[in-house]
A and B are shown apart, each in its own frame.
Chain A
Amino acid sequence: DIQLTQSPSFLSASVGDRVTIACRASQGIGSYLAWYQQKPGKAPTLLIYGASTLQSGVPSRFSGSGSGTEFTLTISSLQPEDFATYYCQQLNSYPPIFGGGTKVEI
């Protein structure tokens, strides 16, 4: 099975900061990578798919890049509503596992 390693697992940042979260796959997955945001007590919501395509309705301060085994999620200017946990997910093959998550806190 493909393994996903997210880093960091915890990130402390301030409003207005540029934030980058990394996701590394144990083998190449092309661009079959998605990013999700989860706020406390809520279901995950889709942010990015195809490694870099923004889901409809997601603010443009979110962006994704990468292919193969190295991927990043960037928030260009952190807003108060962005404090949450972020997960990457590989969808190249089954099982479509998730990374361990990155909690972004103030």
Chain B
Amino acid sequence: EVQLVETGGGLIQPGGSLRLSCAASGFTVSSNYVTWVRQAPGKGLEWVSVIYSDGSTYYADSVKGRFTISRDNSKNTLFLQMNSLRAEDTALYYCARVVWGSYRQFDYWGQGTLVTVSS
């Protein structure tokens, strides 16, 4: 059974840093595309970043240069390093597995971890 469990959220001051983790089971992170999606309180879904099986990474313009996606293959875990945090980064952060071939979808999602950026 595929499962994703996010951790690492919390309250952080503007300008601070935080690292989110997403522990995966039931599939191999390094053999798949895995992504981060966030949702600000009361708002819609916003794609944040993806890491491909070959290690390529892509980012939304809103986080480019501040966030870094990575993975630890030995721990089957995905990370999101978030630097220079802003109030507008406040959101529930989800990780999800991506299918990207003839058919494309985000087929499994974690339950999310909440990041609050506030002084």
Interface residues, chain A, with chain B CB atoms under 8 Å away = 32, 34, 36, 38, 42-46, 49-50, 53, 55, 87, 89, 91, 94-101
* Interface assignment of B14: CB less than 8 Å from any CB of chain A: no
Q: List A contacts of B112 (CB < 8 A).
A: 43
Q: List A contacts of B61 (CB < 8 A).
A: 95
Q: List B contacts of A49 (CB < 8 A).
A: 99, 103-105, 107
**Would A34 and B105 be within 8 Å (CB), given that A43-B94, A94-B58 are in contact?**
yes
Q: Interface of chain A, helix or strand or loop or mixed?
A: loop
Choose from B50, B94, B106 the contact partner of A34 (Cβ within 8 Å). B106
Choose from A43, A55, A101 the contact partner of B111 (Cβ within 8 Å). A43
Minimum CB–CB distance from B6 to chain A (whole Å) comes to: 10
Q: Which 9 pairs between the two chains have the least Cβ-Cβ distance?
A: A91-B104, A49-B105, A98-B45, A43-B109, A34-B105, A101-B44, A50-B103, A46-B107, A95-B47
Q: List B contacts of A99 (CB < 8 A).
A: 44
Measured in the bound complex, the distance between the Cα atoms of B99 and A13 in whole Å is 33
Whether the pair B109, A55 counts as a contact (CB closer than 8 A) is no
Minimum CB–CB distance from A27 to chain B (whole Å) comes to: 16
Measured in the bound complex, the distance between the Cα atoms of B35 and A89 in whole Å is 14
Measured in the bound complex, the distance between the Cα atoms of B111 and A32 in whole Å is 25
Measured in the bound complex, the distance between the Cα atoms of B58 and A43 in whole Å is 22
* Interface assignment of B27: CB less than 8 Å from any CB of chain A: no
Measured in the bound complex, the distance between the Cα atoms of B60 and A94 in whole Å is 9
